[in-house]
């Protein structure tokens, strides 16, 4: 009955579901963006370390999630995400040391990974392409919103980081309200509870033997030549819970044509954002100039991501077109490294920064839309929850590269106000100037809690 109702979903219900996925995408990614935007306030000497703390927990969740998600209902995962949001905001705001603040960033990372992989998989129980498009658009807007939030508080209001974060406690409340009032738990939660209580294996359907139909060696070969899955197959009970670990792993490997482009485009995108842009400014030796460029370049990049994530989900392109995105993004890495090393600067560089965001958003949304069209409906939940690990693995690689790149670019550009975590063989830094710079930055905030400096 539940699956039959899902198949007869009206247009208004589809629109309502898409709106809910849009809002949840916005809320899920906002905290991570705020952490990235405030990375210099958490650890100015190694922005890449902050990015690493924001990616490793996500990677663990996405890598292991497909093996245990089916044992935890979607509703429980949504509530766990809300709790992690609150922990992140409080720990980062009031942590007295950089290491404690990094623990808060890790909470945001756990929340983001749990929310993203869960909701991507949940889209398989609705109109997958439309809900994925709504989700992608929301996550794209989160980039703009997160950086705009930070810019307003730091550059216009002059508020300290604690005020900015404490006023963000509305986010977990809105997250729960959207889920319960606009979307509601998917029918699969009830189905799995029933199966668990009865000790039955109803998810095996009409398959024989071990109860699991063999999946095709290539996910794109499961249906017609176009790869589209008929609508009446989208809402059948998935075989996720019936697959062994070995089968899940083998199925994961069949998704390489979607996951590798995600890995490559995110590795190059975040190398630019964390390693290169953090070392640029006009002039680069002025900390305030670097902060302004870093903030506005990242905001512009998020605008590009929002545009491509919003429009990119409305069409379905080919797999070769998907692979073109990472190739172009690697060219952008070379371009911005050259600009940083040669001292080429100016606000006109915001135009190529927009392109960086466009490429990243395009590959993200197209990868998941292609999966929704080319993977058999019984495996769609599993495929959507797995594929996003490519993004996070790319982020982690970029974090390591960014730490190295920032140190080398700091040394090459003679940026001496802050000593980077990796010095790249340069010996031009002294502790007192860095401490003085950090102290002056800490006293810059005009609006803060009583007794709190910056």
CB atoms within 10 A of CB 453: 11
Residue pair 333/310 in contact (Cβ under 8 Å)? The answer is no
Share of the chain above pLDDT 70, in %: 81
Q: 447 - beta bridge partners?
A: 159
Which pLDDT band holds residue 198 (cuts at 50, 70, 90)?
low
Q: Residue 435: which residues within 8 A CB-CB, separation 6 or more?
A: none
Check whether 200 has a pLDDT greater than 60. no
Over residues 228-238, the pLDDT tens digits come to 333 444 445 66
Spell out the domain ranges in the chain.
Answer: 14-189+255-412
> What would the mean pLDDT of 176-199 be, rounded to a whole number?
74
**Which tokens is 36 given?**
């990235």
> What would the mean pLDDT of 175-181 be, rounded to a whole number?
95
Give the helix/strand (H/E) hosting 358. Answer: helix 350-374
pTM of the model: 0.78
Check whether 201 has a pLDDT greater than 90. no
Over residues 40-94, the pLDDT tens digits come to 778 766 666 887 888 899 999 999 988 888 888 889 999 999 999 999 999 999 9
Share of the chain above pLDDT 90, in %: 43
What pLDDT is stored for residue 347 in this prediction? Answer: 93
Residue pair 357/308 in contact (Cβ under 8 Å)? The answer is yes
* Alpha helix ranges (H) inside 65-169: 74-94, 98-122, 128-151, 161-166
Looking at domain 14-189+255-412, which of 3.40.50.720, 3.30.565.10, 1.20.1250.20, 3.60.10.10 is its CATH number?
1.20.1250.20
């Amino acid at each position: 009955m539940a699956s039959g109702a899902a198949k007869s979903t009206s247009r208004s219900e589809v629109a309502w579901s898409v709106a809910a996925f849009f809002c949840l995408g916005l809320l899920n990614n906002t905290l991570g963006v705020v952490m990235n935007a405030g990375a210099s306030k958490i650890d100015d000497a190694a922005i890449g370390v902050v990015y690493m703390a924001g990616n490793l927990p996500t990677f663990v969740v996405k890598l292991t999630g497909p093996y245990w998600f089916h044992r935890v209902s979607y509703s429980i995962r949504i509530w766990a995400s809300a709790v992690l949001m609150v922990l992140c905001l409080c720990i980062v705001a009031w942590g007295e040391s950089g290491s404690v603040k990094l623990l808060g960033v890790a909470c945001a990372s756990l929340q983001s990974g749990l929310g993203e992989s869960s909701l991507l998989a949940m889209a398989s129980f609705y109109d997958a392409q439309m809900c994925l498009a709504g989700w992608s658009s929301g996550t794209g807007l989160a980039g703009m919103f997160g950086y705009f939030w930070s810019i307003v508080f730091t550059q216009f209001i002059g508020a300290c980081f604690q005020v900015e974060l404490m006023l963000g406690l509305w986010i977990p409340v809105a997250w729960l309200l959207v889920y319960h009032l606009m979307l509601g738990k998917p029918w699969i939660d009830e189905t799995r509870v029933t199966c668990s209580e009865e000790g039955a294996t109803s998810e095996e359907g009409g398959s024989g033997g071990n109860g699991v139909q063999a999946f095709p060696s290539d996910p794109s070969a499961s249906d017609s030549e176009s790869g589209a899955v008929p609508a009446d197959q989208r809402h059948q009970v998935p075989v996720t819970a019936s697959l062994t670990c070995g089968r899940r792993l083998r199925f994961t490997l069949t998704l390489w044509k979607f996951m590798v482009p995600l890995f490559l485009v995110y590795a190059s995108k975040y190398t630019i954002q964390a390693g290169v842009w953090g070392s640029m400014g006009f002039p680069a030796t002025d900390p305030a100039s670097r902060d302004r460029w870093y903030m506005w370049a990242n905001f512009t990049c998020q605008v590009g991501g929002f545009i491509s994530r919003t429009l990119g989900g409305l069409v379905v392109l080919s797999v070769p077109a998907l692979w073109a995105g990472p190739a172009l993004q690697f060219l952008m890495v070379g371009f911005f490294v050259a600009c940083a090393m040669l001292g080429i600067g100016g606000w006109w560089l915001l135009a190529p920064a927009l392109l960086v965001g466009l490429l990243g958003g395009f590959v993200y949304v197209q990868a998941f839309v292609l999966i929704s069209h080319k993977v058999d409906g019984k495996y769609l939940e599993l495929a959507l929850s797995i594929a996003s690990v490519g993004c996070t693995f790319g982020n982690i690689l970029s974090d390591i590269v960014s730490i190295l790149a920032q140190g080398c670019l700091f040394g090459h550009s003679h940026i001496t106000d802050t000593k980077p975590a990796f010095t790249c063989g340069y010996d031009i830094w002294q502790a007192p100037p860095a401490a003085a710079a950090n102290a002056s930055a800490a006293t810059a905030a005009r609006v803060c809690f009583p007794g709190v400096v910056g």
